[in-house]
């Protein structure tokens, strides 16, 4: 699971997710990407589940050319660095904030979550479709603009 080695503060406030992503909104590494369409928190479990789905779909990717043997390369563009606290079940109100239970990445609309390179478009589209189902937010397949 992804989580920071250490953080400055053990508990964070919830914050707000106004507007669209200013950074991380364009493809930087690969040819294809998975872009967020709505704001939300993506947990470390969701990120890992989608990564596993992506790599699995690349491994059984069917007829891939000889130069690309095992399928392409995947980049994860988000990192869960925000702790989310939860209070125990059936606990009365008060007595302070709960303990950190999970880690989330704050994702705004337009943010690229994953990138991929070295596979045919139809395979990448299908892989990102399955990965998008693991996310708690709506996503969209994007590809780099072809320059002639």
How do the domains of the chain map onto residue ranges? 32-85+98-143
Write out the CATH class of domain 32-85+98-143: alpha beta
- How far, in Å, CA of 15 to CA of 8, rounded? 17
Contact partners, residue 19, CB within 8 Å, separation at least 6: 108
Residue 120 has pLDDT above 90, yes or no: yes
**pLDDT tens, 78-95?**
999 999 999 999 999 999
The pTM of the full predicted model, rounded to 2 decimals, is 0.89
Q: How far is CA 108 from CA 21, 35, 137, 142, in A?
A: 5, 10, 10, 16
């Amino acid at each position: 699971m992804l989580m920071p080695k250490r953080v400055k503060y053990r508990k964070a406030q919830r914050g707000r997710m106004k507007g669209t992503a200013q950074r991380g909104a364009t493809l930087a590494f690969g040819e294809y990407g998975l872009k967020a369409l709505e704001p939300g928190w993506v947990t470390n479990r969701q990120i890992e589940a989608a990564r596993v789905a992506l790599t699995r779909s690349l491994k059984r990717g069917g007829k891939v050319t000889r130069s690309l043997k095992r399928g392409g390369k995947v980049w994860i563009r988000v990192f869960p660095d925000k702790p989310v606290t939860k209070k125990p079940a059936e606990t009365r109100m008060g007595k302070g904030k709960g303990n950190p239970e999970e880690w989330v990445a704050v994702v705004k609309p337009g943010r690229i979550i994953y990138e991929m390179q070295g596979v045919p478009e139809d395979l990448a589209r299908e892989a990102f479709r399955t990965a998008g189902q693991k996310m708690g937010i709506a996503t969209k397949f994007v590809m780099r603009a072809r320059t002639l």
